[in-house]
Structure 1
Amino acid sequence: MGPTVSVPSACRAPAPFGRVILVMRRAQFLRLLGWAGFSLACQALPARSSSAAARSSLPSPVRVRDWARAHGLTVRWLETHRRLQLTKGGLQLVLQANSREAFINGVRVYLLCPFEYLNPAGYLAEVDVQRTFGPFLEPPRLPQKQRMEHICLDPGHGGKDTGYRIGTTEEKRLTLALAQELAGLLRQAGFRVTLTRTRDVYLDLEERPRLAQRAGADLFVSLHFNAAAAGAGQVRGVETYCLTPANASSTANPGRISVAGPFPGNQHDLFNIRLAYALHQAMVRGLPSEDRGLRRARFAVLREASMPAALVEAGFLSHPVEGRRINDPAYRRRIAQELARGLQAYRELVHRP
């Protein structure tokens, strides 16, 4: 039989009657056909068959070869790494077989459901086609008279909430320092900037996006530094989050949905992922850190945002080397410079003609 695919429960569709029998009868044929001829199959095989689609465990499965053809994507199977590469112009998508890990122009992005490889076909969940890859094939843009000029920066933690603490280092002080550095760079670039806090005060999580709304901000960016659990001190790298689409699994909890939404922040799903990607790409390309991926989560500050929003984890304070760098004002300025570049790239994207 073909490879076994472990699919999170939230990404599973009910198994149709007779499915196991169908798979066993076709197994030898499917093994012979193999993935080596995938790009040829994309051109030569007939349109999607209901019997093949019935094998997928994904909700509303979309056959990748049909989707690629519809969008003019060139397909190439990379057998060594068991990855599928799809390209069109300057866009490159790479899907890892039977995994939620994908790459968009070299930047790691976690899918909402696995790319399911069922020899010789591959499937994506419809929610990933629409909410993960859709905004890259057809980028969202603002109406002609609407401008993205006012950014609300949210320094994480504050007051009684110190965030991660090691020795005399407190995350709440470093996020405020980063926000102030970034605010200065953004104002130089012509943006209006509001901070949810300018001193060491405690704010409820739900209050932070409300402050952005009252200020009339066009974007909300929450700034944090990360920390690994005890015994995992070698974990390092940058992560960026946007809100999980309604009824989908968050990256850290595959297959489990505690609160499914939709939330106010979900009205900006297409903009959210492009904002998070712009910030994450800038950090990955400009900082000496590891790419831990663009991820989805239902953090309160993202759920309640009435404008496009993202949350940045700009490195691990718990890592001995990365932690020392983050404590260095010169390195925090580098982080701020990359985030400013990312925000300018996002502005150019949504303002394009």
Structure 2
Amino acid sequence: MTIAVKCSLVVALVSICIMSHRAFGAADWQIIKVNGHDYLTIENISKFYGLPAEVTSSGDKVQTETVKNPLEFVGGSREVVINGARSWLCFPLIEQDGKFLVSRTDVAKTIEPLVRPHRVPNVGNVETVVLDPGHGGHDKGAVCRYGSEKDFALDVARKLCALLQTKGLRVIMTREGDYFVPLDVRAQIANAARNSIFVSIHFNATNDDPDATGFEIFSFTPRGAPSTSDNAVTPTSLSMQAGTVVDNQSLALSACIYHSLLGHIPEFDRGIKRARFAVLRLTRVPAVLVEGGFLTERGESRLIANKDWRDKLAAAISVGIENYHSLAVKKQPPMLVADYRRQTKSAPTEPVIREGDLKEADLSLINLIGKSAFPSPQQTSTPSQRVSIESAPIVP
């Protein structure tokens, strides 16, 4: 898909260890109102993370001196690359008075869980993985000359089930054969399981671009924000249905799986996205939907039809789930796409965002977006809880 943009913005956030910087307090957040809505400058966000961001302008491009950057924005667009993987903001980056601004929602709901997934409350607390092979029975899903989505998804889920069980995780399949399970029942299965996560397996298709390829992964759209597929921010795209108290956990799960996919399999990076699919909307546990390639593209459909390639896909998802699970134990950043590629010696070393001493800075983030967004590890979140940043829609 071609995206028209006014300019591109590249911001380098170079890893540094913060040993003596002044504590970042609530008063240091410089909230800028644009049409009644809250934004923060890239410089302000960088200061919070204790990372330098020297922004320079040259013609239509606004960028830093370095070429390899862990964080890269595109002016006037929702596209952002964080630690080597494409993602999508809830709202476009905007420019005002020479400053590039990111919505307050995206600081809390996109940047924070993607930069520091290991610091998301209750992240990685997994006993059960609910695997959901898409479609089934009368619902074939996408179809190509080699077979149907429902069969390929079931095969990957079966392989993935066996891999996860060898790692000591309990696994529940929403379907184990060629039959259809209603979408609400799939969500109910996940909601009934103790300390569960939900991973739905699908393959993509399009009528618009027969050459479309690549991986993408979805988690539920936050309250008051448009889904990634909404090309324009309009009143109708800003659904006010409640988000979930596990928004950030779901995004962290997306990131762990997606980095493993890109790191193990050289497919096109379509990004970490948001959607209001029924299986994501109805689940109350961390939930993602994986699109493992396009059945409408000739070359990629041949790959998907190959048993060995599906083995590789299942293995990559398994590693991603294992890394998500380890967040609860290690409390350290998970492996990134560059880490996986270095393991296979298929890519050079690239800089990534690493945290310094940010304990005091975390308090200011709580002050910015609301304490209810950060339940204590002992607290059990319920669907009735609301994150304070979501108390009103935040739109450009």
TM-score, L = length of structure 2: 0.70
- 8 Å CA contact retained: 1:142, 1:350: no
Distance 1:86 1:156 in 2: 45
Instruction: Judge which range, 249-258 or 232-241, deviates more.
Output: 249-258
User: Which one-letter code corresponds to 1:262 in the other structure?
Assistant: A
Residue aligning to 1:118: 96
Aligned pair partner of 1:257 in 204, 226, 237: 237
Report the CA distance between 1:217 and its aligned residue: 5.2
Q: Cα–Cα, structure 1 residues 138 and 106, in superposed 2: closer, same or farther, change >3 Å?
A: closer
Q: What is the RMSD of the two structures over their aligned residues, measured on CA atoms?
A: 3.1
Distance 1:218 1:37 in 2: 36
Task: State the secondary structure of the residue aligned to 2:237.
Answer: coil
Distance 1:58 1:200 in 2: 51
Task: State the secondary structure of the residue aligned to 1:318.
Answer: coil
User: Which one-letter code corresponds to 1:235 in the other structure?
Assistant: A
- 8 Å CA contact retained: 2:10, 2:74: no
Report the CA distance between 1:168 and its aligned residue: 5.6
CA displacement 1:256-299 (0-9 Å, x = unmatched):
42643214xx1101101100111111111111210000100001
Distance 2:224 2:188 in 1: 24
Aligned pair partner of 1:237 in 203, 214, 239: 214
Distance 1:85 1:351 in 2: 36
Q: How does 1:262-301 map to 2 (within 5 A)?
A: 262-263=242-243, 266-301=244-279
User: Which one-letter code corresponds to 1:244 in the other structure?
Assistant: T
Report the CA distance between 1:189 and its aligned residue: 1.6
Task: State the secondary structure of the residue aligned to 1:114.
Answer: coil
- 8 Å CA contact retained: 2:114, 2:255: no
Q: Cα–Cα, structure 1 residues 83 and 184, in superposed 2: closer, same or farther, change >3 Å?
A: farther
Residue aligning to 1:247: 224
Residue aligning to 2:308: 330
Aligned pair partner of 2:47 in 69, 72, 86: 69
Residue aligning to 1:108: 86
Distance 2:12 2:185 in 1: 50
User: Which one-letter code corresponds to 1:286 in the other structure?
Assistant: H
Distance 1:188 1:155 in 2: 20
Aligned pair partner of 2:131 in 147, 153, 160: 153
Gaps of 5+ in 1: 7-34, 40-46
Residue aligning to 1:178: 156
Instruction: Judge which range, 290-299 or 158-167, deviates more.
Output: 158-167
Q: How does 1:133-144 map to 2 (within 5 A)?
A: 133-139=111-117, 140-141=119-120
Report the CA distance between 1:101 and its aligned residue: 0.6
Residue aligning to 2:283: 305
Task: State the secondary structure of the residue aligned to 1:206.
Answer: helix
Higher CA-based Rg? 1
Report the CA distance between 1:213 and its aligned residue: 2.2
User: Which one-letter code corresponds to 1:325 in the other structure?
Assistant: L
Report the CA distance between 1:349 and its aligned residue: 1.6
CA displacement 1:304-329 (0-9 Å, x = unmatched):
11210000001001111110000001
Residue aligning to 1:222: 200
- 8 Å CA contact retained: 1:158, 1:203: yes
Report the CA distance between 1:248 and its aligned residue: 0.4
Q: Percent identity?
A: 30
Q: How does 1:48-87 map to 2 (within 5 A)?
A: 53-54=32-33, 56=34, 59-77=37-55, 82=61
Distance 1:317 1:150 in 2: 30
Report the CA distance between 1:184 and its aligned residue: 0.8
User: Which one-letter code corresponds to 1:191 in the other structure?
Assistant: L
Distance 1:36 1:294 in 2: 19
Report the CA distance between 1:149 and its aligned residue: 2.3
- 8 Å CA contact retained: 1:240, 1:313: yes
Task: State the secondary structure of the residue aligned to 1:61.
Answer: strand
Instruction: Judge which range, 129-138 or 269-278, deviates more.
Output: 129-138
Report the CA distance between 1:214 and its aligned residue: 2.5
Task: State the secondary structure of the residue aligned to 2:217.
Answer: strand
Distance 1:237 1:57 in 2: 37
Q: Cα–Cα, structure 1 residues 344 and 63, in superposed 2: closer, same or farther, change >3 Å?
A: same
Q: Cα–Cα, structure 1 residues 338 and 138, in superposed 2: closer, same or farther, change >3 Å?
A: closer
Distance 2:110 2:284 in 1: 20
